[in-house]
Structure 1
Amino acid sequence: MRATHYDGLILDFGGVLTTRMRLNGEAFERSENLSPGAYFAALEDHPDGVAVYAALEVGEATQEDWNQVIGGILGIDPTDLMRRALANLRPEPQIVAAAKRARAAGIKVAMLSNSFGLEPYNPYADKGLWTDFFDAVVLSEREGIRKPSPLIYERTLDALGLTGPQCVFVDDHAENLPPAERLGIHTVHHTTNPAATIEVLDALLPRT
């Protein structure tokens, strides 16, 4: 018997509800004939790439802006670049199944994602993880704030109609967990092994 009853499950998108972002990026580099690490350097090290991605996440830049900037840094065609960049991302079947089990057991399930943009390419709908799959979808683009801002966790709780101690949050970035913990949310750090995360969730959440 579990000592605590949780009524809500909050899941990150990229790298939790989907396969690993790193593997997707490596596959993108191969498909575009880029040098290994070039895509990650454009996103994480190049000042223009870092800036446009941060702006995209909070709705201050469009996906087309991101396409143009990242395409320019990499020297590749920017047309529909976000779609191409995420082409090898797939729903993570074990996590998706856990979300479905939770909903079947009466648990409210939310997706909380730092946004990739929604137009012209909606990655959430494309991967089959959109509004009809969740009780709430909270995207940083729509909120104007991104993880790890405490406010975006508060808005997710409001969207679910639950308090922090009623919820479990799963994210693959450790830096996104402490703000949730300060709201009383039970956090789970998802790493490279979905089975390990499922084992933790199955111990925390009821199953039908």
Structure 2
Amino acid sequence: MIEAVIWDFGGVLTSSPFEAFNRFEAERGLPKDFIRSINATNPDTNAWALFERSECTLDEFDALFAEEAAAKGATVRGREVVELLSGDIRPEMVEALKRCKARVKVGCITNNVAAGSGAGMARSESKAAQVAEIMSLFDHVIESSKAGIRKPDPRIYEMACEALGVTPAGSVYLDDLGINLKPAALLGMKTIKVTSAAQALAELEQAVGFPVA
């Protein structure tokens, strides 16, 4: 019996920032997934990890990321990466969130940074308003930049379940990154790796047992 559906934000309710990363890399003549390769090096202690836990400021992140990029032979500032983070809202996923909310509890666990506006790190007032409207739907939201803890730390999933008053076994968790799904699955959560909206909605509908599209 599903008691809650818990959502990642970027790459699930919005398009993936990785798409923006790849466009940036192509424009700069950098190898595809260059930015992701930096973020995957020393993943618990690198500039990105520090920033998502609010252990460094935007200015510090800007310089630290530039150092990590330089070590890999390229010039990329941290602020340039931050500008790429806010994706486009996926209306069909927002509709699914609303349908889930009508029947079960809904929560959000998002790794984000203290830049832009709100949980979605929006770069414009109109986008910030859209994100705020979506965030108001959740029964509980955990932002890494406020909690000081980030996925894939297992504690963040436990925190979400405790806040919602549900068990991991009674929860579904959606994320676009496999590394963030593994700890949730080990806790007993039903996990869905989001590769597209259509695929995610089909799997979510099967998991919860009611229409979401």
Are the equivalent residues in 2 in contact too, given 1:168–1:186 (CA < 8 A)? yes
TM-score normalised by structure 1 residue count: 0.79
CA deviations on 1:32-62 (whole Å, 9 max, x unpaired) are: x4534343444345x69x7110111222122
Distance 1:24 1:123, change over 3 A: farther
**RMSD of aligned Cα (Å):** 2.8
Counterpart of 2:58 in structure 1 is 63
1:99-138 alignment, distance < 5 Å: 99-103=97-101, 105-115=102-112, 117-122=113-118, 124=120, 126=122, 127=127, 128-130=130-132, 131-138=135-142
Counterpart of 1:149 in structure 2 is 153
Determine helix, strand or coil for the equivalent of 2:166. coil
Mapped pair 1:43 → 2:48:
no
Alignment length, in residue pairs?
197
CA deviations on 1:139-179 (whole Å, 9 max, x unpaired) are: 12222222121111110112212111221001122222232
2:48 to 50, 53, 57: 53
User: 1:123 Cα deviation (Å)?
Assistant: 5.6
User: 1:207 Cα deviation (Å)?
Assistant: 4.2
1:15-54 alignment, distance < 5 Å: 15-30=11-26, 33-37=28-32, 38-45=34-41, 51-54=46-49
User: 1:76 Cα deviation (Å)?
Assistant: 5.4
Counterpart of 1:184 in structure 2 is 188
For structure 2, list consecutive stretches of 5 or more residues without a partner in the other structure: none
1:200 to 179, 199, 203: 203
User: 1:99 Cα deviation (Å)?
Assistant: 0.8
Are the equivalent residues in 1 in contact too, given 2:115–2:121 (CA < 8 A)? no
Inter-partner Cα distance in structure 2 for 1:42 and 1:184: 31
TM-score normalised by structure 2 residue count: 0.77
For structure 1, list consecutive stretches of 5 or more residues without a partner in the other structure: none
Mapped pair 1:140 → 2:136:
no
Are the equivalent residues in 2 in contact too, given 1:11–1:170 (CA < 8 A)? yes
Inter-partner Cα distance in structure 1 for 2:58 and 2:170: 35
Inter-partner Cα distance in structure 2 for 1:43 and 1:177: 18
Percent identity, aligned pairs only, is 29
Inter-partner Cα distance in structure 1 for 2:149 and 2:6: 17
